[in-house]
Amino acid sequence: MKYLLVFLLILLSSCVQVNHIYQLENNKPDLMPISIDLISTQAINYQAKKALFAEKNQTLYVLDELNNEIYFYKNNKLINRVKQGSAGKYSLQKIADICLANDGNLWALDYFDKAIIKLDSNGMPLTHFTLKETINPVSFALLENSGVYVYDKAKNEILVYEPLTMKYIYSFAKMLFADNPYLSINKERLWAYDNKLSKTFIFSTTGKMLTEREGQAFYDRFFNLFSFENGLLKNEINNANYPISFQNTGVISINDNHLTQISDKQIYIYKAQYETK
């Protein structure tokens, strides 16, 4: 009993230390948003899994995983649909996830071919990389100069690849998730939202677990930490609340200054306005 008590105290102190380090690293963002405003909506008639808005080319990308298609919108007009077999020499088979490229184009994960394919903003294929060591890759995030992070459902872990050679390096977060996590990355943080557990797991980009939070949580590019739960978007750094569409409970994606959220029949696009120094 004595040794058990000592073990529990050590475990508790280590957990407190991890959260203390995490808070110290994230309590001084470079800039804070003064408002988050709705700038556009896009009507849809299908069940969307993920939506991303690229400011550089003003393109909205929407993944319809059920029908195995990616929709491309500009100025609220559908300009293309990429589906199975329609990406030219890098033909997509089963589209599991999408991620924005630095230049505003799109990366798509093909879990059948175990590959990621880069498409331009009109849906034309640009390049292709095979994901070796994977069995069933279903979600991913990438920093084009740092690394590619792929969640493998069969292995129940996140695999990391070098960005240029696509060489497998290591894996982490084994047996942590109950559902396919939504992976996102920004600067030196990787976060994974598990919808079934209703938790967000936050890691360093080296795979070190920093903390976990109830509900959805995500960072912006200035290191503000937001939480979204029960229809409320909150900046955890200064406790500011933002009046986004509370009736929507879909997963929020963030890229640069833009947030996207999915409802049954609409995609909502918000823009964060930041203070100036």
CATH of the domain at 94: 2.120.10.30
Please compute the mean of the pLDDT values over residues 204-222 and round it to a whole number.
93
Q: What is the DSSP string of the chain?
A: -HHHHHHHHHHHHHHHHHHHHHHHHTS--S--EEEEEEEEEEE-SS--SEEEEETTTTEEEEEETTTTEEEEEETTEEEEEEETT-SGGG--S-EEEEEE-TTS-EEEEETTTTEEEEE-TTS-EEEEEE-TT-SSEEEEEEETTTEEEEEETTTTEEEEE-TTT--EEEEE-TT--SS--EEEEETTEEEEEETTTTEEEEEETTS-EEEEEESEEEE-TT--EEEEETTEEEETTT--EE---TT--SPEEEETTEEEEE-SSEEEEEEEEE---
- Give the sheet arrangement for strand 216-219, strand by strand: 216-219, 225-229, 232-235, 241-242
The predicted pLDDT at position 246 comes to 53
Which residue do the tokens 């069969």 mark?
Answer: 154
Q: How far, in Å, are 30, 106, 124, 129, 152 from residue 89 at the CA level?
A: 43, 16, 10, 13, 25
Please compute the mean of the pLDDT values over residues 49-65 and round it to a whole number.
95
- pLDDT tens digit sequence for 68-90: 999 999 999 999 999 876 655 66
The predicted pLDDT at position 27 comes to 57
Enter the tokens of residue 186: 């920004």
% of residues, the chain, pLDDT over 70: 86
Of 276, 256, 274, the C-alpha closest to 53 is: 256
The predicted pLDDT at position 250 comes to 73
Domain housing 109: 2-274
CB 117 within 8 A of CB 82: no
What mean pLDDT, rounded, does the chain reach?
A: 87
Please compute the mean of the pLDDT values over residues 33-53 and round it to a whole number.
94
How large is the C-alpha radius of gyration of the chain? 19
Using alpha carbons only, what angle is made at residue 51 by residues 265 and 208, rounded to the nearest 5 degrees?
A: 135
The predicted pLDDT at position 232 comes to 81
Please compute the mean of the pLDDT values over residues 28-43 and round it to a whole number.
90
The predicted pLDDT at position 5 comes to 45
> How many structural domains does the chain have?
1
Q: What are 119-122's contacts with CB under 8 Å, separation 24+? A: 119/70, 119/82, 119/87, 121/54, 121/57, 121/59, 121/72, 121/74, 122/72, 122/79, 122/80
The predicted pLDDT at position 155 comes to 97
Of 250, 218, 163, the C-alpha closest to 269 is: 250
Please compute the mean of the pLDDT values over residues 190-205 and round it to a whole number.
95
CB 138 within 8 A of CB 131: no
The predicted pLDDT at position 231 comes to 73
Total-model pTM: 0.88
Quote the CA–CA distance of 89 and 136 in Å, as a whole number: 22
% of residues, the chain, pLDDT over 90: 68
Q: Is pLDDT larger for residue 4 or for residue 85? A: 85
Residue 181 amino acid letter: P
Decide if pLDDT at 43 tops 90: yes
CB 162 within 8 A of CB 169: yes
